[in-house]
Structure 1
Amino acid sequence: MDFSIYLKLFSNAVVWALLAVAIFSYGKLLSLLFFIKPCQAWLMRCNYWIAALKTLLAALPLLGLLGTISGLLSTFNFMSLNNGLDMQEMVSGGIASAMYTTQLGLVFVVPGLLLHTLLKSKVATWQVEAVCVR
């Protein structure tokens, strides 16, 4: 198996942006869900972060699309500089590497949205329990 395409991915700034947004979002979601005990301060923090995290998660597929577009543009630029499709293997490899960013964006967003939904559910449940206790 040729791992050079995976090494080439890490030279892409969009991949690093995808990783940074995903790691930040997952870290914040996991800390709110599992590492902080629910209390009034936790509820305020969750309400503060819920909308922002949803926006960050929505940015992941868009970043993936940005990576795909930039990869396709560089592939078409390569084709124009080399007078067409003389190097079809090189062009298909460039298109394949461009599609990986979209795949990464989609792979990162699905579990994040599930965690986000779980957090919203936990917040709603805690609010109901807090009202019932009073």
Structure 2
Amino acid sequence: MLDHYSQQLFLLDNPVVWAILLDGVVCHSLLIRFCIFERRDQRWFDLTQYWLTGIKQMLTALPLLGLLGTITGLMHTFITMSKGGGLALQELITGGLGDALFTTQLGLVLVVPGLVLVGLLHHQRRNWLIRAAHEVID
């Protein structure tokens, strides 16, 4: 099992993979902080108001970065094919295709839970507003 993962380490040589991972970690850590760990008060509401647009933009970038990685991997594959005189360099070609598919998958896998957490955060903000308005009325 460990040997299988060590064969896949070439995927981490791609700077697009690191950009996707960094973007995903920032988005998810902020969302988890706001949805789970922060106390629901006026400061929380203001912080979520401040960060929500940026978080949505960073989440939007995840599949686009995945697409960028796809294009980069395919370009690498075709350049390798043209320099290698056809399909003689199968390992390099499959590496480029693996890179292309991995970045697409990574971008999509990271955006879906982020969108779910954004929905949860919107729900929590709406509930907080209702409770805050209800407290003022009472």
Structure 1 spans left out of the alignment, 5+ residues? none
User: For 1:109 and 1:27, how far apart are their aligned partners in 2?
Assistant: 13
**Coordinate RMSD, CA, aligned:** 1.4
TM-score normalised by L of structure 2: 0.91
TM-score normalised by L of structure 1: 0.93
For residues 1-134 of structure 1, the aligned pairs below 5 Å read: 2-134=4-136
Q: Any conservation in 1 of the 2:62–2:108 contact (CA below 8 Å)?
A: yes
Structure 2 spans left out of the alignment, 5+ residues? none
Q: Deviations over 1:95-123 (max 9, x none)?
A: 12211100000000000100011001100
User: For 2:31 and 2:91, how far apart are their aligned partners in 1?
Assistant: 42
Distance 1:103 1:2, change over 3 A: same
Q: Deviations over 1:19-78 (max 9, x none)?
A: 100011111011111111011111111111111111100100001111111011011000
User: For 2:4 and 2:40, how far apart are their aligned partners in 1?
Assistant: 47
Q: Any conservation in 1 of the 2:35–2:121 contact (CA below 8 Å)?
A: yes
Give percent identity, aligned residues only. 43
TM-aligned CA deviation for residue 86 of structure 1 = 2.2
Q: Any conservation in 2 of the 1:64–1:101 contact (CA below 8 Å)?
A: yes
Partner amino acid for 2:121? L
User: For 1:90 and 1:77, how far apart are their aligned partners in 2?
Assistant: 10
User: For 2:64 and 2:119, how far apart are their aligned partners in 1?
Assistant: 20
